[in-house]
Amino acid sequence: MVSYVSANLVYPVATPPIKNGVIALKNDGTIERVLTAEEAKAQAIEHIQHYDGILVPGFVNTHCHLELSHLVGQIPQHTGLIGFIKKILALRQQPEAEIISAMQKADAQMYANGIVAVGDISNELVSKQVKQNSQIYYHTFVELFGFNKPAAPIIAKGLQLKKDFYPLKASLAPHAPYSVASSLLTAISIHTQSDDILTIHNQETVAENEFFEKGTGAFVDFLGAVNLLFDEPILNQTAIHHALPKLPKKVNTLLVHNTFTSAADIAFATKTHPKLFWCLCPNANLYIENNLPANHLLQHENINLTLGTDSLASNHQLCILSEIQTLQAERNVSFEQALTWATLNGAKFLGIDAQFGSFEAGKKPGIIWLKTEDQGNKGLKTSIKRLF
Ligand SMILES: [Zn+2]
């Protein structure tokens, strides 16, 4: 049986928004077709359920750390990245039952916020059960870091963890330029299969660039103090020059944060790697560094942007709509543009765009109803409801 839903504005994403558009869908939520109001009228379609507001496909969150969900509200804002990492190291070990319960709540929160797919960073197996029981699609990134230690045991442990996550999709991922030595980057590249995808945190703080450009700054103090400083030559170039050339070029690769990525860095990166995606986590950037990526990244015409929430350790909520609203308010990005980043681009990065990311025939992307109401002196409030 086919049913019909409509709203004041329907955003198929792959094509322009349709005023009073109509979505024809099967019982299981698969899109049969998308019609204009005129087409629906000409075809005398009846029993159209109309929603006051807009309909968008399910959101794709390309960067999360479910494992850190129990740290909600634990770390103060604006510590800077190094202060934040120190807090994570001090606070992350908690009883497993507490960690699992927090992850279940976080997963339910993402579902309620219209998120249908997540790229999730994991250091352990603890999130597997939550992901397996979830209605959300998860791709797990088994995160690796290593300084001057030999790469082989780190890779072996990572490959085992990847196997342990089976049947969930998982692949290896280096943590960040300042925490992964050249030998480990090369080893990750060797062990990346053609159907894997990869992600790395990139240029989240200004000290990351100084570390590679001059061999000085806060990372030298921090890593030196814990005896983890790796023996890499000073590059006289920004952090992106350390990791990117050593990563495999055959797989989709997501650079996350990019808060201190210059226009020259973008030019270098796009020339170096043909399958790059760039993830913005604006609310986490404001939480940790009180900063946002520059307009040359947001307004670049030839790069694929995606959105991520990061974890509840650095965000007040796991909500992609809230990330969109921050970009609208702080960076003047249009809703339509950010919606493409939040849906279709994320699905393309995760390799799941045959099902997710847009209202197109044959897809089952989730249908999210957004309704904005004026709450007087409290301003506008948008509610999120899942129709499928
Ligand atoms: Zn992260």
Segment 240-285, tens digit of pLDDT: 999 999 999 999 999 999 999 999 999 999 999 999 999 999 999 9
Q: Which CATH superfamily is domain 2-57+362-386 in?
A: Urease, subunit C, domain 1 (2.30.40.10)
pLDDT bracket for residue 113 (50, 70, 90): very high
pLDDT bracket for residue 167 (50, 70, 90): very high
Q: What is the mean pLDDT of residues 89-115?
A: 95
Tell me the CA–centroid distance for residue 193 and ligand 1, in Å: 23
| CA atoms within 13 A of residue 103's CA, in its CB half-sphere | 26
Structure-token pair, residue 327: 């970009």
Helix/strand/coil for 106 = helix
Tell me the CA–centroid distance for residue 162 and ligand 1, in Å: 18
Distances (CA, A) of 337 to 41, 118, 164, 277, 324: 29, 20, 38, 15, 9
pTM check: above 0.85 = yes
pLDDT bracket for residue 149 (50, 70, 90): confident
| Main-chain dihedrals φ then ψ at residue 383, nearest 5 degrees | -95, 150
Q: Look at residue 228 and tell me whether its pLDDT is greater than 90.
A: no
* pLDDT number for residue 301: 86
Q: Look at residue 226 and tell me whether its pLDDT is greater than 80.
A: no
Tell how far CA 187 is from the center of its chain: 24
Tell me the CA–centroid distance for residue 311 and ligand 1, in Å: 7
Q: Sketch the domain layout of the chain as residue ranges.
A: 2-57+362-386, 59-350
Tell me the CA–centroid distance for residue 45 and ligand 1, in Å: 47
Residues 177 and 166: their CA atoms lie apart, in Å, by 28
* pLDDT number for residue 235: 79
Q: Look at residue 197 and tell me whether its pLDDT is greater than 80.
A: yes
Q: Look at residue 376 and tell me whether its pLDDT is greater than 90.
A: no
Q: What is the mean pLDDT of residues 43-68?
A: 97
Neighbours of ion ligand 1 (CB under 5 A): 310
Tell me the CA–centroid distance for residue 338 and ligand 1, in Å: 20
* pLDDT number for residue 19: 98
* pLDDT number for residue 266: 97
pLDDT bracket for residue 374 (50, 70, 90): confident
* pLDDT number for residue 147: 81
Cβ 205 vs Cβ 81: under 8 Å: yes
Asked whether the domain spanning 59-350 has the same topology as the one spanning 2-57+362-386, the reply is: no
Tell me the CA–centroid distance for residue 135 and ligand 1, in Å: 22
Residues 11 and 77: their CA atoms lie apart, in Å, by 35
pLDDT in tens, 204-218: 999 999 999 998 999
Q: Which residues of 285-301 are buried (b: 16+ CB within 10 A; e: fewer)?
A: bbbbbebbbbeebbebe
Asked whether the bond before 153 is cis by omega within 30 degrees of 0, the reply is no
| Main-chain dihedrals φ then ψ at residue 363, nearest 5 degrees | -85, 160
Percent of the chain past pLDDT 70, that is, above it, reads 100
Tell me the CA–centroid distance for residue 22 and ligand 1, in Å: 38
Tell me the CA–centroid distance for residue 200 and ligand 1, in Å: 8
pLDDT in tens, 7-18: 999 999 999 999
Tell me the CA–centroid distance for residue 231 and ligand 1, in Å: 24
Q: Look at residue 38 and tell me whether its pLDDT is greater than 80.
A: yes
pLDDT in tens, 324-373: 999 999 999 999 999 999 999 999 999 999 999 999 999 999 999 999 98
Distances (CA, A) of 84 to 15, 187, 353: 41, 28, 34
CATH of domain 59-350: 3.20.20.140
Least confident of 119-123, 148-152, 281-285: 148-152
* pLDDT number for residue 230: 72
**Which pairs from 240-244 meet CB under 8 Å and 24+ separation?**
240/177, 240/202, 240/203, 240/265, 240/268, 240/269, 241/212, 241/268, 242/177, 242/182, 242/212, 243/174, 243/176, 243/177, 243/180, 243/185, 243/200, 243/202, 244/268, 244/269, 244/272, 244/273
Percent of the chain past pLDDT 90, that is, above it, reads 85
Average pLDDT, the chain: 95
Q: What is the mean pLDDT of residues 92-115?
A: 96
